[in-house]
Amino acid sequence: MNRAYLLTGGNLGRREINLSKAREFINQQCGHIINSSSIYQTAAWGKTDQPAFLNQALEIDTSLNARQLMRRLLKVEKRIGRTREEKYGPRIIDIDILLFNNETHDYHFLKLPHPELQNRRFALLPLAEIAPHLIHPLLNKSIAELLEECPDQLAVKKYP
């Protein structure tokens, strides 16, 4: 069994329902969700003239390898209604693999660990809630340490 840490997010439509659908489909098609963070609200990162995002980290057990998991997650996004039109643009749902076991990968459609994890508070904060002692396989620092050192000062707040 493989252990993966995912980040779900979105800023269009019924955001909470979209995150709920993502959890449901991930649990059915990708692997068993064994832990999930609170939902957090964050101002848009990268392209700021758009609605705020909701994000949630998930920890899953999966029999899939990293590439198989990424392909399934892309299908889940499409099933929920994701279209890819603009980098960092608004989206109904986005599902990223942050970490997969202790593995590193560099494929055109999948880079692991997520190359920007240490620079994104909106990913680190929910991940730190469920896995603060998890060690980043390239930086050899815990998620809690990366969160403390994170240069991103964008406000990330628990969603009511």
**Pair 64, 72: CB distance under 8 Å:** yes
Active-site annotation holder among 23, 82, 120, 121: 82
Active-site annotation holder among 15, 23, 72, 96: 96
- Catalytic site residue 61? no
- Catalytic site residue 84? no
Cα–Cα distance measured from residue 30 to residue 10, given in angstroms and rounded to the nearest whole number = 19
**Pair 98, 117: CB distance under 8 Å:** yes
Active-site annotation holder among 72, 91, 120, 121: 91
Q: Where are the alpha helices (DSSP H) in 33-136?
A: 66-80, 121-130
- Catalytic site residue 82? yes
Name the DSSP letter for residue 47.
S
- Catalytic site residue 91? yes
Name the DSSP letter for residue 123.
H
Cα–Cα distance measured from residue 59 to residue 75, given in angstroms and rounded to the nearest whole number = 19
Residue 153 tokens read as 């000062």
Active-site residues, by number, are 82, 91, 94, 96
